[in-house]
Amino acid sequence: MGKFELSHRVVLAPLTRQRCLGYVPQPPMILYYSQRTSKGGFLIAEAAGVSDISQTSPEMPGIWTKEQVEGWKPIVDAVHAKGGIFFCQLIHVGRVLDTAITINTFLIYAFQLVPNGKSPVSSSNKKLAYQQRSPKKLTTQEIPLVVDDFRVAARNAIEAGFDGGEIHGAHGYLIDQFLKDEIIDRTDEYGGSRCRFALEVVDAAVKEIGGDKVGIRLSPFANYSESGDSNPETLGLYMAESLNEFKILYCHMVEPRMKSVFEKVDCLDSLIPMRKAFKGTFISAGGYGREDGNKAVAENRTDLVAYGRLFLANPDLPKRFELNAPLNKYDRSTFYTRDPVVGYTDYPFLETTI
């Protein structure tokens, strides 16, 4: 993978775990990531916000302040101490800043408290079905400021010790809100070319830290947070081809079968056209197990496969795959709790289960 020598093709996918405090990474994350590190393994950290209105919860990390950068350093050091390659995912959630949460079966609407009374921002002023306020439609004068937030975040990731940064352009967050025609309704240059904002972010990151340290995650076929597209294959193919200009390290795409959160459906669409078009390392994600992951690599449909829930529950997942050993079952109820141990660092290793 570029200058990086990997020992296997099993990637830790970026996973929100909500174990931070005030957007600052916390010590339990050192053990969590270290547990999932193997020599020559590739890990992508959970999404880190690029600005003070870029994250949905203070329990999620940021990468826009010095304190946050310092919080990441011992985590990155622990991964490097075990020979892992570690990238930081960079995110701006856009209009998803205001979230809906379910408590005891009741849907609760939550305004995200942000500094100076700022509102969520997006490519348009369309709000999600559950939201009570519309996002602010970014102006052409404001968009470059957001691009610069990503640039600074990429620089901060390198300062924290990460080997590179992955731009989160998927799953209905801000970049996806510009890419998808269900949301964007602009008539300016960012509407005429829906990919412009995404590519400007890529360009800024590449110029700041180098294309060999930049990846991007895309989900052209997914419809997270009302972010569908009428022609996702054309969108995905255009992005894959356009990214070649910037010579970025990798493109990380979500399989078409993953239409929404935790929903895997039968689907005839494929990432193969995008895989063929993109000239760097290609990573596939979305509901993979051991067998279909091996098959995807054997058939040259991908270079690497990212695993989320299975890696969450099996810190030694590459070893288990190598030995075709049984897997721990994940406990979905602990995915987003604040507990620093339960459902976080207490999943057993193979040698403790035999």
257, 216 contact by CB (below 8 A):
no
What Å distances lie between residue 135 and 127, 146, 278, 328, CA to CA? Answer: 6, 15, 33, 41
> What band does 130 get if pLDDT is binned at 50, 70 and 90?
confident
Exactly one of 23, 32, 173, 288 is catalytic; which is it? 173
Centre a 10 Å sphere on the Cβ of residue 198 and count the other Cβ atoms it contains. 22
The CA distance from 242 to 197, in Å, is: 12
Owner of token pair 């946050």: 68
Is domain 10-323 in CATH 3.20.20.70, yes or no?
A: yes
Q: pLDDT: is 101 or 348 the higher one?
A: 348
Q: Is 307 among the residues known to form the active site?
A: no
pLDDT at res. 264: 63
**Exposure string over 4-32, b if 16+ CB within 10 A, otherwise e:** bebebbbbbbbbbbbbbeebbbbebbbbb
DSSP label of 135: P
Note whether 102 and 181 are within 8 A (CB): no
Calculate the CA 64 to chain-centre distance.
17
Res. 353: pLDDT tops 50: yes
* Residue 125 confidence (pLDDT): 94
Q: What is the pLDDT of residues 254-306, one digit of tens each?
A: 987 766 555 666 666 689 999 999 999 999 999 899 999 999 999 999 999 99
**Ranges 19-33, 104-118, 245-259: which has the least confidence:** 104-118
C-alpha distances (whole Å) from 39 to each of 44, 305, 318, 327, 334 are 15, 17, 11, 21, 28
What predicted TM-score, i.e. pTM, was given to this entire model? 0.93
The domain segmentation of the chain, as residue ranges, is 10-323
What residues have CB less than 8 Å from 116, skipping those under 6 apart?
Answer: none
For residues 115-133, average pLDDT: 82
